[in-house]
Amino acid sequence: MARNRVIYQSEALYVSENAASTVEAKHEQLEKVQSANLSYTINRQDINQFGELARIDSVIMDPPTVSTDFSYYLADGFNERALGFYVQTGSGGAGGVNSAAGQFASGHMVSTSGKNVFLVTGPEGKDMVGESLADSTDTAIGIGNCYVSDYSVDLSVGSIPTVSVSMEGANVRGDTTAGGIGTPAIDQEAGTAMAGDCALPTPITGKSDINALRPGDITFSLGNFQDETLYDLTGVSGLHIQSASINIPLSRTPLQRLGSRFPYAREVDFPVNVTMNISALVNEADDFQLVSQLTQAQNDATITIKNKAGAKAVIYSIKGAKVDSESVSTTIGSNKTVDITLSAQIGGTNDTSAGLFMSGSNGDTVFTA
């Protein structure tokens, strides 16, 4: 029976270990997904000539650009590891996790074939969880050779911590799952479509035992910046933080050559800057002089989020950060606020003193053999 509509109940989002992955064990379902979007653009050049007003052809000069973005509730680092980010796992003692020993974005700083992303849709009115993916009405849209172009996490009072991810791919393919989900990947070197079907795991509620993190369980460690801003960031009389965000852009340049219809590689544009934006209610002013900050040292900023049991679930650390800007606002009828931006530059994959680092309590294996 034809569907009348598709809603979140009937969809599941998957990611592969790499573009060449086909077996079930090399695909993971992303958890706590809240939204998913995709689009593509085809750039053409019109061919005109003397003697005819209308074009005689419209030629594709550049490979299509496929974009996908999705968001999910932050949990314990499982989704991040499935997406290829480095997340330190393992217990760091009672109620804790180990400090990260590798760059968060290290897995995306080297040349790879990208990943495949699948958005699977099941029968109308039926939960996707437990669906065998063999029903003739199930469909799958696959995006091949996806590269992460942006990762951000948003934390605010009254909202569940949420992650947003943007990716750029090379191809889109739609299939019914009953006939096999054909791989949407392309061979970047040859510029041709890959052959074979991809097997996806049966949708589940999730592997994580954390359904959501709460804003009341978020703490900031910003003591190193105490004397570098107009207002105290720490202590009893410090700022009352209302929202914070971390953003790491990973824009890429497609490398092309004559004889190939697709880029043979998509390399990250360096340097990469990670930023943290903080918005807070002002309390007490601190001792401060701007001219003394012209030679400010690089410091660390840490965000720790606990689960409802009080154990650490996620830790984000920005190392080697500096204050970029501070903006204060006062108006009639509202509280005085301050917005502060910190930034750091991502170091090499073996650099543990500069960049963004993440630890998570989830130790489940991703992409099992």
Q: Is 106 left (phi over 0), alpha (psi -120 to 50) or beta?
A: alpha
**C-alpha 35: how far from chain center:** 13
- Per DSSP, the residues of 255-270 read E--TT-SS-SEEEE-S
326 within 8 A of 222, measured Cβ to Cβ: no
Q: Considering the domain boundaries, does residue 137 fall inside one?
A: yes
Amino acid code (one letter) for 261 = R
Rounded Cα distance, 187 and 93, in Å? 45
Taking residue 329's Cβ as centre, other Cβ atoms within 10 Å add up to: 12
Residues 6+ apart with CB under 8 A from 76: 208, 210, 307, 313, 314, 360, 361, 362
Nearest to 165 by CA among 277, 70, 63: 70
Q: What is the pLDDT of residues 181-224, one digit of tens each?
A: 899 998 877 778 898 899 899 999 888 889 999 999 998 887 66
145 within 8 A of 178, measured Cβ to Cβ: no
Rounded Cα distance, 357 and 80, in Å? 12
Residue 225, pLDDT above cutoff 80: no
Q: Cα separations (Å) of 153 from 101, 118, 217, 315?
A: 20, 22, 15, 12
> How far apart, in Å, do the first and last CA atoms of the chain sit?
37
Burial class (CB in 10 A: 0-12, 13-18, 19+), 142: buried
Question: Which tokens go with 274?
Answer: 């990670």
**C-alpha 246: how far from chain center:** 11
Q: Is 9 helix (H, G, I), strand (E, B) or coil?
A: helix
Between residues 98 and 304, the one the model is more confident about = 304
Rounded Cα distance, 306 and 309, in Å? 8
pLDDT of residue 32: 96
Rounded Cα distance, 353 and 345, in Å? 10
Element (H, E) at 79: helix 78-82
- Per DSSP, the residues of 140-157 read EEEEEEEEEEEEEEEEET
pLDDT of residue 313: 94
Q: Is 341 helix (H, G, I), strand (E, B) or coil?
A: strand
Amino acid code (one letter) for 310 = G
Between residues 147 and 255, the one the model is more confident about = 147
65 within 8 A of 166, measured Cβ to Cβ: no
Q: Considering the domain boundaries, does residue 56 fall inside one?
A: no
Phi, psi for residue 25 in degrees, rounded to 5: -65, -15
Domain extent at residue 123: 11-41+61-360
pLDDT of residue 97: 64
Q: Considering the domain boundaries, does residue 127 fall inside one?
A: yes
Residue 84, pLDDT above cutoff 80: yes
Between residues 309 and 222, the one the model is more confident about = 309
Burial class (CB in 10 A: 0-12, 13-18, 19+), 163: buried
Q: What is the pLDDT of residues 17-57, one digit of tens each?
A: 999 999 999 999 999 999 999 999 888 999 999 999 999 99
Q: Considering the domain boundaries, does residue 55 fall inside one?
A: no
Highest mean pLDDT among 60-64, 91-95, 208-212 belongs to 208-212
Number of domains in the chain: 1
Q: Considering the domain boundaries, does residue 332 fall inside one?
A: yes
Between residues 256 and 234, the one the model is more confident about = 256
Q: Considering the domain boundaries, does residue 367 fall inside one?
A: no
pLDDT of residue 93: 43
| Band (280; pLDDT cuts 50, 70, 90) | confident
Question: What is this structure's pTM?
Answer: 0.90
Q: Considering the domain boundaries, does residue 50 fall inside one?
A: no
pLDDT of residue 331: 92
pLDDT of residue 135: 67
Amino acid code (one letter) for 63 = P
Q: Is 338 helix (H, G, I), strand (E, B) or coil?
A: strand
Following CA atoms 269, 78, 368, 180 in sequence, which dihedral angle do they give, to the nearest 10 degrees? -80
Q: Considering the domain boundaries, does residue 321 fall inside one?
A: yes
Rounded Cα distance, 276 and 283, in Å? 21
